[in-house]
Structure 1
Amino acid sequence: MTDNNKTSGTDKDTSAPASPTGKETPSSSKQNGKPSATEKSAAKSTPADTPASDKNTATPPPQAKEKKRGNKLSIVAIVLVIALGGGLYYHGHQQSQQLTANISALTDEISSLKSALANSEKQSQEAVKKAVQDTQVLIEQQDTTIQSLQSALADVKGRRPNDWLLAEADYLVNQAARKLWLEQDVLTATTLMQNADQRIAELNDPSLTPIRQAMAKDIQQLKAVKRIDRDGIVLRLNSLQQEVDKLPLANAIMPEAEDVAPQQVSGNVDDWQQNLKASFSDFVGQFITYRKREGDVVPLLTPAQTFYLQENLKAKLDQAVTSVYRENGRLYAESLKTAKEWAERFYNQDADITKSFVATLTNLSQQTIEVSYPEALESQALISDMLADRLRRDLAPLQTGENNQ
């Protein structure tokens, strides 16, 4: 900008025409305040030089034109430089703003992560601290419980040694109840009850007299239960099963003949016709016997039918064995009755083994296998309540001490 102003000023001074009189124009004298070089040359020169100076002033030289063109190019270059610098500045400004925003976002994210990490660490420390406190409390409680149990055990061993006999009697009574109702073993149940009564008798405690009275009543009821030799009945039934294959089959089973009473000759003369007929029948009966039978004749059995008969007879005896253990008297009687009917119908009744087989079935069918057991043992509840009451009374002081701690 400064170069342009200086150049333009120079051009103005150069291009200004000199007055023909050689005097300074008012404008030039006002601007400089001093006489210019042109005015001095005009004053010195002769009048003949004035036309030549006017000719130079009207047509500027080529150097001035080139100088003026260079000034325009410099102006354009300066404008382009300024525009390019402004664009670069604007682009750099936007990039700096974007980087500043990204840095701010990353800073906020790092701050949130730091706060979250701090909170998580704080929560973890609190959880660990709480777990340690809970563990300490549990350890203290367990120590207290162990000490209480140890003191209780020492107290029971030292002060009430006879309670072990009462607990043993309670165990024996419970075992007797199981033997009675689960296994129907009356003999073992009676023995266990007697042993329990002996344990209580060793305590020599008058407060246990009601229990001993109930136990005596229970023992008497058990002794009154009818004893059944189940093993003996089952063994006899098993022996009959083994004899089934040895029983002889009947060739043919004929119905029994009717008994005919012989006719007697009377002493009355009027009955001569009947007496004659009776005499003739008696005479003929010595040679020919006529008997009347009513019923169906059972034919001979095939080998397959014989096999099925034997297997069915064994199955009925096996069913009777099962009924003995289940104490099902109705099924037991029906099984033996069916077995006896088949033996009398299909086997030879004149054989000794058949007679013994049928007699054994008859004897077994008369046996009673059903037994009425006591519904409950009175001493069982009494001894259990007594034992629980004593234990509760012994542990009450210990529980009070724990609550006070």
Structure 2
Amino acid sequence: MANNNESRPQGDELVTVSAEKEVIDSKTDTPSSPKQAKSSGNGLLWFVVVILFLIVLSMAGAGYWYYMQQQTAQQQTLNAQQKNASDLNAMVQERNQLNAKLDEITKSNNALNNTLNALQSENETLALQAESALEQIKNMEGRRPADWLIAEADYLVRMAGRKLWLENDVRTAILLLVNADKRLKSLADPSVLPVRAALAEDIQTLQQLNPVSPSSVALALTGMVAQIDKLPLDTFEKPKDVDAQDNTLSESTDDWKANLAKVWDKLVGDLFTVKTIEGPVEPVLSLEAQYLLKEQLRLQLMHAQSAALKGDAGLYNQSLQYAQTLLIEKFDIETSQVTGFVNAIQNLLNTDVSRPLPSELKAQKPLEGLLDNRVKQVFGQGASAL
């Protein structure tokens, strides 16, 4: 661009110089050949100038185009560098993320390896336990039915103890002990003979207890309580006057004085009675007193009933003796009803209701020890619930 601007003044100067020469030439009237030679030289000069000018313009355009191409290429290079830098940053971040994930996967893999090692060791332990259990099962062949019979016998002995101490049912307890002995007898094993001996001793002890049934005594007392209201009391009764005169009126008119005296005596006798009685005087019992006496007798019989069920011989005898005393003193002992009641109470007094139960069964502990040796050691702690 600068070259083009600098070349333009030179051309103007050349045009000015040529014009001045033409004016001078026209004024001096020189020959035509030198003029022609000058005009041809000026044309060539102008041609060269024009060519140079075009060359300069083309060079300027080429320079401008090259400059623009360089700017565009530089901008593209810069954009490519920025894109490459962003891509590189993205790749670096992705690489960091991949490294973090790889670290997590490595940690997880290590944890899984540890778990796998633990599971393998546990599996080996379980395999050893299974082999040991199989070996024990092989050793147990032919003994498991016997072991369960021992457990069943132990259960029967426990139930016998509950029946004996909680329900005072001696008969059922004896039956349970006999069934337990049958279970052990079916084993045909000499090692259970000491337990069977203890069972036989327990059965013999229970059989030697008082055979009187407390329930039978209690039922007899219940029947007697229901008859109390029918028993007559020993109350005061007006004695018969054997010395009483005959107050029957005569139909004869001649006996008017005797009839009048009889009427008078009857009126006076209805109002006042005077009688001399030899012996102790007993008061007349009121209805409330009679009711209380019968209720007192009923209460004593109920106490005796409760004592019979509990096996308390002292309270039983005391209640019956007090009831017998009430019958003799307050009831009419001359009647057959009261006499039969007194005899029934005397029979109950002669009945022994005491029943000293043993504090424990001698076969229980040996049977538990046998069960521990035969069952629990084989099955481990799983048999502790038996």
Q: List per-residue Cα deviations over 1:26-75 (Å, max 9, x = no partner).
A: xxxxxxxxxxxxxxxxxxxxxxxxxxxxxxxxxxxxxxxxxxxxxxxxxx
Counting only pairs closer than 5 Å after superposition, residues 218-367 of structure 1 correspond to structure 2 as 218-252=202-236, 293=279, 296-367=280-351
SS of 2:145 mapped into structure 1: coil
Give 1:190's aligned residue. 174
Aligned length: 233
Tell me the amino acid that sits aligned with residue 219 of structure 2: L
CA contact (8 A) 1:328 1:370 kept: yes
**Using the alignment, how far apart are the partners of 1:392 and 1:382 within structure 2?**
15
Give 1:391's aligned residue. 375
Q: List per-residue Cα deviations over 1:139-187 (Å, max 9, x = no partner).
A: 9899889999899789767652211111111111111122222222221
Q: Percent of aligned pairs with the same residue?
A: 31
TM-score (norm 2): 0.52
**Using the alignment, how far apart are the partners of 1:342 and 1:243 within structure 2?**
15
TM-score (norm 1): 0.50
Residues 1:323 and 1:147: Cα distance change in structure 2 (over 3 Å): farther
SS of 1:175 mapped into structure 2: helix
Give 1:49's aligned residue. none
SS of 2:186 mapped into structure 1: helix
**Using the alignment, how far apart are the partners of 1:292 and 1:299 within structure 2?**
15
From 372, 376, 393, the counterpart of 2:356: 372
Give 2:70's aligned residue. none
Tell me the amino acid that sits aligned with residue 360 of structure 1: A
CA contact (8 A) 2:199 2:362 kept: yes
CA contact (8 A) 1:250 1:300 kept: no
**Using the alignment, how far apart are the partners of 2:326 and 2:143 within structure 1?**
73
Tell me the amino acid that sits aligned with residue 201 of structure 1: K
User: 1:333 Cα shift?
Assistant: 1.3
Q: CA RMSD in A?
A: 3.8
**Using the alignment, how far apart are the partners of 2:158 and 2:339 within structure 1?**
48
User: 1:292 Cα shift?
Assistant: 7.5
Tell me the amino acid that sits aligned with residue 181 of structure 1: W
User: 1:323 Cα shift?
Assistant: 0.8
SS of 2:357 mapped into structure 1: coil
Residues 1:146 and 1:317: Cα distance change in structure 2 (over 3 Å): farther
CA contact (8 A) 2:215 2:309 kept: no
**Using the alignment, how far apart are the partners of 2:303 and 2:360 within structure 1?**
31
Residues 1:141 and 1:321: Cα distance change in structure 2 (over 3 Å): farther
SS of 1:335 mapped into structure 2: helix
SS of 1:378 mapped into structure 2: coil
Residues 1:243 and 1:222: Cα distance change in structure 2 (over 3 Å): same
Q: List per-residue Cα deviations over 1:87-143 (Å, max 9, x = no partner).
A: xxxxxxxxxxxxxxxxxxxxxxxxxxxxxxxxxxx9xx99xx99xx7xx97x98998
SS of 1:179 mapped into structure 2: helix
SS of 2:194 mapped into structure 1: helix
CA contact (8 A) 1:317 1:335 kept: yes
User: 1:217 Cα shift?
Assistant: 1.7
SS of 1:332 mapped into structure 2: helix
Higher relative CO (CA 8 A, sep ≥ 6), structure 1 or 2?
2
SS of 2:233 mapped into structure 1: coil
**Using the alignment, how far apart are the partners of 2:294 and 2:131 within structure 1?**
74
**Using the alignment, how far apart are the partners of 2:300 and 2:124 within structure 1?**
67
Residues 1:395 and 1:346: Cα distance change in structure 2 (over 3 Å): closer
**Using the alignment, how far apart are the partners of 1:194 and 1:359 within structure 2?**
40
User: 1:355 Cα shift?
Assistant: 0.7
Tell me the amino acid that sits aligned with residue 308 of structure 1: L
CA contact (8 A) 1:249 1:347 kept: yes
Give 1:170's aligned residue. 154
User: 1:197 Cα shift?
Assistant: 0.9
SS of 1:161 mapped into structure 2: helix
Gaps of 5+ in 2: 1-103, 238-275
User: 1:382 Cα shift?
Assistant: 0.6
**Using the alignment, how far apart are the partners of 1:249 and 1:230 within structure 2?**
30
Gaps of 5+ in 1: 1-121, 254-289, 399-405
Give 1:54's aligned residue. none
Residues 1:342 and 1:298: Cα distance change in structure 2 (over 3 Å): farther
**Using the alignment, how far apart are the partners of 1:182 and 1:364 within structure 2?**
25
Give 2:164's aligned residue. 180
Q: Post-superposition, which runs of at least 4 consecutive aligned residues in structure 1 deviate over 6 A?
A: 139-155
**Using the alignment, how far apart are the partners of 2:353 and 2:130 within structure 1?**
55
CA contact (8 A) 2:304 2:319 kept: yes
CA contact (8 A) 1:173 1:196 kept: yes
User: 1:359 Cα shift?
Assistant: 0.9
